[in-house]
Amino acid sequence: MTPSPTREARPPLLLAGCCTAFLALVVAAVAIASQADVIERGSLLSWAGDDVRRVDAGGVRFYLSSEFDPKPDALTTWILAAAGSVAAFAATLLWTRGSARTMAFFVLSAAGAWYLALDEGFAVHESLGHNLGFLADVPGVKRPDDLVFGLYAVGALAFLLAFRRTLLQCSPALALFGLAFAMTLGVSFLDFVDVLPGFAEEGLEIATSGVVLLGYVVLARALALEGLSPG
């Protein structure tokens, strides 16, 4: 008897769910540890030299390496780099059987995601803004780099519209990219108004990059692995 597709799909889905839950737990633990109060630091453990901090997080005390210095921007960078890698891999799978439009979509997606990863990791748009001081004269603009980031959202919208036929072949991916665009607008707005604490904006950036990654995974699976007709 041939097993049903649903039964075959359960183990991979369960494994993916477990891995996702594990990674979420690690991220939560790192976030909690990063907010812990430092009680003492120095040569606290005989085997670690002076490379130790003792911290307190809600009454729970534990040790951290002095190298423990989590930065939300780093996580966003990794996720965007992963999204670019997924797009590049999809392009290689479709190299001989994909349409020129589909190939262009994934190649440009890979380049764009990798650029955004570099931007996040090396503060590219902030540096651009610092060298475009005249943008501060635009009414309502406090920081030129906020306007530069806003232009990224305009570029993202133009990209989605240009390749809407490709995205329409996979409605879940279309929904994810639409959500990511809306979240990007939210990040731009938070950048512009600067009324919420930095961690709220950084958290939204991480979530946005995660949605982008998921969108590319879903679309790549639909077009490259399930053999949908490229648009």
CB neighbours of 165 closer than 8 A, spacing ≥ 6?
Answer: 101, 231
Note the pLDDT tens digit of each residue in 138-165.
777 777 887 888 888 899 999 999 999 9
Burial class from Cβ neighbours inside 10 Å (0-12, 13-18, 19+) for residue 78 reads middle
How far apart, in whole angstroms, are the C-alpha atoms of residue 222 and residue 1?
27
- Supply the angle between the helices 72-93 and 198-220 in degrees, to the nearest 10: 10
Cα radius of gyration (the chain): 22
Within 123-170, residue ranges assigned H as helices are 124-130, 144-162, 164-167
Q: Which of 182, 195, 174 is nearest to 153 (CA)?
A: 182
Query: Does position 4 have pLDDT exceeding 70, yes or no?
Result: no
Which residues partner with 65 through β-bridges?
52
| pLDDT > 60? residue 205 | yes
Q: What is the pLDDT of residue 228?
A: 46
Q: Which one-letter amino acid corresponds to residue 32?
A: I
CA distance 198 to 123: 15
User: pLDDT tens digits, residue range 175-202?
Assistant: 999 999 999 888 777 766 766 655 667 7
CA 114 vs. chain centroid, Å, equals 11
Percent of the chain at pLDDT exceeding 70: 87
